[in-house]
Amino acid sequence: PFLNGFVGEFLIMIGMWSSSALQTVNGFNLNHIATMFAGTGVIFAAVYLLWMAQRVFFGKITNPKNKTLTDLNWREIGLIAPLLFLIVFMGVYPKPFINRSKESVLAVEERVAPQTGWTNEQAQGIAHP
């Protein structure tokens, strides 16, 4: 949460959960099951990322040449700070970026909706209950 990748994952899982693309089989809604698997994958990915970050940033140095490396200098901090700001900003307030992609999403919807039988009103009901 609060980082740019989470917003995309969350929107995809909301779409999967509310989609009618998969059928209900023997009382089990396959959309919900697929979303639960996807959520589990997101959790495993986060755990792996934290484990990897711990080993990279706080683990023992195995290559003697790396012992002389310094931490970030001001020039490098100046280059990475705007990227870090955008990563957090997109995670906390994604609305400007989502609004920017609205026209493209509507264009895709116009091409795909007739093939699926969905109407714009049905899609709006799911996206904005």
- In-domain check, residue 82: yes
- In-domain check, residue 20: yes
- In-domain check, residue 116: no
Q: Inform me whether the pLDDT recorded for 48 exceeds 90.
A: yes
Q: Which two tokens stand for residue 96?
A: 């400007």
> Where in the sequence is the domain holding 41, given as residue range(s)?
4-93
What was the pLDDT predicted at 129? 45
SS3 of 55-117 = HHHHCCCCCHHHHHCCCCCHHHHHHHHHHHHHHHHHHHCCHHHHHHCHHHHHHHHHHHHHHHC
Q: Is the whole model's pTM more than 0.95, yes or no? A: no
Mean of all residue pLDDT scores within the chain: 86
Structural domains in the chain (count)? 1
Q: With contact defined as beta carbons under 8 Å apart, do 48 and 66 qualify?
A: no
Give the separation between CA 26 and CA 32, rounded to whole angstroms. 14
Tell me how long the chain is: 129
- In-domain check, residue 85: yes
pLDDT band for position 74 (cuts 50, 70, 90): very high
What was the pLDDT predicted at 110? 83
